[in-house]
Structures are given as structure tokens and as C-alpha cells.
């Protein structure tokens, strides 16, 4: 190997071939030769490449760690407001679950991206008005508009978070793709923290049970509730200061789960036809159908954000294209079922909200699917697909705001 390296010092392609043939031996041989090759730009480049190691020990600046600690404590405090002030748990959490975490995340990214003072005031005002509005809505267990406002207000806050993530800008300057990638990384890191927290909780509760102490209720009411509120904040911090931790895991998860989900969906569609399940008349089944649609769409985008932009794998792109086609088919079935129910029984808040959401998702998936097909056919990079993924984000923000703030007034709070 030493002789081969010396013979091909002026042949970068052959050096790369030698490296890929036997990486450990190449590294050992090259490092032994490096002292006599100092001064060569190519030798110096290879030395840096072979000896470079990612710094996984950095945990951000002290002020960032302090901020995250305070933000986590604030989120935990907000999560415990019902217990501290004798508030109704169901009313508080159904209306305010999004306001426990999103405001502190908004502050985190507004601070990180140096959002202007004026933009920060606007964001704070919008969040404040949202809190007041959602909590002033009339309480009724049969109010569909109240349920919709509670479901869509986190999506509205999520869109504000994306605005802060992009530095408070719209258009080309906004980092829409980075925001989608952050959401995928956040999901992975949050899942890891929840698994670790679940194992620690089970161990702690059972250890105390061995000595005759039953701490399950107290542990859940304080540790678990506060911990759940803290997880998104801590996970966000980890994705920002340790991007390599999640950056190495997310693409692997995407590549593993995408083909599995594709196969499961195909089997599911056949099983649905065989079972006689009817989304046209079964309301609960239609709701689950739409939840499945949103989950699969999120997986498609998660997979695309983890795919190499300049050299995407053909097999991975074909799987994503097939998954997009299947998802469009599912969306079309759900959309036709919604239109059928509207034609039979008229418009209601739920049907109108689901109709608008499905039309948005269908249009988005069609654009992404067409761009994927063009990328495969022309063998180009993923830049156009990436733009297609982010172009609809403002539309989701507007629709979530309409459902949250306009629907209760439009349908008379029913």
C-alpha cells in the first residue's frame, strides 16, 4: 500500500480508489508516509481528511445552556399551572397545550437568528392574542369549532416558529427546508429522550416499590408532566449544538422506514377493499384515514430532507415517488369521501376544515410528486423538489389561522 500511495501522489482518482479499497490499511500507510510528504497540498488535504474528527463534546455557550435551562423550567411551570392554580385540567390542556412549548421555542430561535425587535414584538403580540382568543372561546362539549380551534392552534404556532426559525423573513431568504429538517431531527431526538425517560421512570418507580413506597402517582404528576414539557426544548437544543448526533441517525431511519411504509400502505389498501371498510359512511374511519395521510406525508418530507441534494440515490427516489403516488391515491379517496358527505349532509365545521386541509395536502403532494418524477427522468439534483416542499408552508399557516380564528365566528361557535 505504501508503494501504491507514493506512485499515485499525483493521481487523486487512484488515491481515492486505494482508500476505498482498504481504508484502515490506507490510513496506516499514509500516516507513516506523511512526514516525508509535508509541503504537498494534496498530502496535506489527505492528512486533514484522515485525521479529522467531529467535535461531539461541545455543548454550546454557557449563556445558551442557561437559556435552555430557564426555558425548560418555564415550560415545566406552564405545564403545572392547573395544579398550582386549581384550574380544570381538561379545559386547560385542550386549549393551551401548544402554548406550553411553542412560545419558549419561538424565543429560542428568535434569539438564535437575531430576529429584529419589531418582528419580535409582532410575534409576541400574535402569540398573546392567540392565548387570549383560544381561552375566551365559549366552553361546550358539543362545539366542533372549539375542538377545531384547539387542534389547529398548535399548527398556527408551528408556522410562527418556522417564521422565527428563518430569521423573521419570507421568500427565498427564509430557510423552509432547514425548518422541515429541524422538525424531523426534533422528532428523532424527542423520541430518544422519551425512550430514555421512560426507562428511567420505570426503573425509579419499581426500585421504590421494592422498599414499599408507591410513588407512581406523585412521580407522574410532577416528574413526568414536567419532563414531557421539557423534552421539546431540550431536544431542540441538542439538534442545534450537536447536529452530527441526529444528522447521522435521521437519514438512516428515513431509508429504513420509507420502503417499509410503502409496502404496508399497499397491503393496507388491499386489506381495506377486502374488509369492506367504507370511508364514505364511517366517520371515525375517515378521520383515521386522514391521520394516516398526514403521517405518511410527514415521512415523505422527512426522507427527502435527509437525502443527498446533489447526488440522490435513484432507488430512494423511486421509493419516494411510489410512496407519493400511493399517498395521493389515499388523499383522493379521503377527498372524495368528504365531498360525498358534504353533498349528502351539507357543510359543517369539521367537513369544511378537513376539505380545505385535504385540498392543500393533495396539491402539495402532486407538486412534490411531479418534481420527483422530473428529477428521476432528467437525472438532476433535488433543488426543485426541495423548493416544492417549502412553497406550500405559508398556505398551511394561513389555513390554520382561518380554522383557529375565523371558523368559530363563521359557524356561530357550533
Asked if residues 236 and 108 have their Cβ atoms less than 8 Å apart, the reply is yes
pLDDT band at 173 (very low <50, low <70, confident <90, very high): low
Q: What is the DSSP string of 164-226?
A: HHTTS--GGGS-HHHHHHHHHHHHHHHHHHHHHHHHHHHHHHHHHHHTT---HHHIIIIIIHH
* Closest-CA residue to 356 (of 406, 320, 391): 406
In this predicted structure, what is the pLDDT of residue 103?
A: 95
Q: 311-323: per-residue pLDDT in tens?
A: 667 888 898 899 9
Query: pTM score, two decimals?
Result: 0.83
**Does 49 have pLDDT greater than 90?**
no
**Does 76 have pLDDT greater than 90?**
yes
- pLDDT (mean) for 119-147: 92
- Please tell me which residue, 121 or 292, carries the higher pLDDT value: 121
Q: SS3 string of 331-400?
A: HHHHHHHHHHHHHHHCCCHHHHHHHHHHHHHHHHHHHHHHHHHHHHHHCCCCHHHHHHHHCCHHHHHHHH
In this predicted structure, what is the pLDDT of residue 233?
A: 95
User: Which three cell numbers, joined as nine digits, stand for 293?
Assistant: 395521510
In this predicted structure, what is the pLDDT of residue 53?
A: 58
- pLDDT (mean) for 121-136: 95
- pLDDT (mean) for 349-364: 92
**Does 123 have pLDDT greater than 90?**
yes
CA distance 340 to 336: 6
**Does 375 have pLDDT greater than 70?**
yes
In this predicted structure, what is the pLDDT of residue 334?
A: 87
**Does 220 have pLDDT greater than 80?**
yes
CA distance 41 to 32: 17
**Does 101 have pLDDT greater than 90?**
yes
Question: Three-class SS of residue 60?
Answer: coil
In this predicted structure, what is the pLDDT of residue 170?
A: 66
- pLDDT (mean) for 206-223: 93
In this predicted structure, what is the pLDDT of residue 54?
A: 52
In this predicted structure, what is the pLDDT of residue 405?
A: 96
Which of 163-167, 236-240, 249-253 shows the lowest per-residue confidence on average (mean pLDDT)? 249-253
Which of 110-119, 218-227, 241-250, 400-409 shows the lowest per-residue confidence on average (mean pLDDT)? 241-250
pLDDT band at 16 (very low <50, low <70, confident <90, very high): confident
Q: 265-288: per-residue pLDDT in tens?
A: 888 888 888 887 777 777 777 788
As a whole number of Å, the CA-based R_g of the chain is 26
pLDDT band at 308 (very low <50, low <70, confident <90, very high): low
pLDDT band at 20 (very low <50, low <70, confident <90, very high): confident
Domain layout of the chain by residue ranges: 2-51, 62-241, 249-414
CA distance 135 to 146: 10
- Please tell me which residue, 39 or 126, carries the higher pLDDT value: 126
In this predicted structure, what is the pLDDT of residue 176?
A: 83
The DSSP H or E segment spanning 109 is: helix 89-112
Asked if residues 349 and 407 have their Cβ atoms less than 8 Å apart, the reply is yes
- Backbone CA torsion sign across 270, 275, 276, 281: negative
pLDDT band at 172 (very low <50, low <70, confident <90, very high): low
Average pLDDT, whole number, for the chain? 87
* Closest-CA residue to 289 (of 298, 300, 278, 299): 278
In this predicted structure, what is the pLDDT of residue 399?
A: 96
DSSP annotation of 139: P
- Backbone CA torsion sign across 379, 381, 382, 387: negative
Amino acid at each position: 500500500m505504501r508503494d501504491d500511495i507514493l506512485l499515485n501522489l499525483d493521481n487523486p482518482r487512484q488515491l481515492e480508489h486505494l482508500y476505498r479499497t482498504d481504508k484502515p490499511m490506507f490510513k496506516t500507510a499514509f500516516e507513516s508516509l506523511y512526514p516525508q510528504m509535508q509541503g504537498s497540498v494534496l498530502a496535506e488535504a489527505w492528512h486533514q481528511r484522515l485525521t479529522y474528527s467531529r467535535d461531539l463534546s461541545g455543548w454550546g455557550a454557557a449563556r445558551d445552556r442557561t437559556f435552555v435551562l430557564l426555558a425548560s423550567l418555564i415550560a415545566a411551570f406552564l405545564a403545572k399551572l392547573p395544579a398550582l392554580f386549581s384550574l380544570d385540567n381538561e379545559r386547560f390542556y385542550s386549549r393551551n397545550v401548544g402554548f406550553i412549548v411553542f412560545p419558549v421555542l419561538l424565543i429560542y430561535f428568535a434569539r438564535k437568528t437575531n430576529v429584529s425587535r419589531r418582528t419580535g414584538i409582532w410575534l409576541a403580540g400574535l402569540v398573546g392574542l392567540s392565548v387570549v382568543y383560544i381561552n375566551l372561546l365559549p366552553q361546550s362539549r358539543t362545539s366542533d369549532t372549539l375542538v377545531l380551534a384547539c387542534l389547529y392552534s398548535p399548527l398556527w404556532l408551528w408556522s410562527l416558529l418556522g417564521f422565527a426559525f428563518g430569521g423573521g423573513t419570507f421568500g427565498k431568504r427564509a430557510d423552509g427546508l432547514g425548518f422541515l429538517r429541524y422538525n424531523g431531527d426534533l422528532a428523532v431526538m424527542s423520541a430518544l429522550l422519551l425512550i430514555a425517560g421512560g426507562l428511567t421512570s420505570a426503573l425509579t418507580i419499581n426500585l421504590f416499590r421494592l422498599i414499599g413506597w408507591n410513588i407512581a402517582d406523585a412521580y407522574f404528576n410532577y416528574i413526568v408532566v414536567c419532563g414531557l414539557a421539557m423534552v421539546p426544548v431540550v431536544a431542540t437544543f441538542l439538534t442545534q449544538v450537536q447536529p452530527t448526533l441526529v444528522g447521522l441517525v435521521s437519514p438512516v431511519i428515513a431509508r429504513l422506514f420509507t420502503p417499509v411504509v410503502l409496502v404496508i400502505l399497499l397491503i393496507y389498501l388491499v386489506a381495506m377493499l377486502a374488509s369492506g371498510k367504507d370511508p364514505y359512511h364511517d366517520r371515525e374511519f375517515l378521520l383515521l384515514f386522514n391521520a394516516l395521510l398526514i403521517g405518511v406525508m410527514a415521512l415523505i418530507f422527512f426522507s427527502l430532507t435527509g437525502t443527498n441534494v446533489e447526488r440522490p440515490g435513484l432507488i430512494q427516489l423511486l421509493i419516494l415517488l411510489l410512496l407519493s403516488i400511493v399517498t395521493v391515491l389515499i388523499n383522493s379517496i379521503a377527498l372524495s369521501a368528504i365531498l360525498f358527505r358534504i353533498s349528502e349532509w351539507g357543510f359543517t365545521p369539521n367537513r369544511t376544515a378537513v376539505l380545505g386541509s385535504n385540498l392543500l395536502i393533495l396539491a402539495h403532494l402532486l407538486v412534490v410528486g411531479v418534481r420527483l418524477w422530473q428529477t428521476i427522468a432528467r437525472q438532476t439534483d433535488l433543488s426543485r423538489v426541495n423548493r416544492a416542499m417549502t412553497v406550500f408552508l405559508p398556505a398551511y399557516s394561513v389555513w390554520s389561522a382561518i380554522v383557529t380564528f375565523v371558523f368559530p365566528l363563521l359557524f356561530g361557535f357550533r
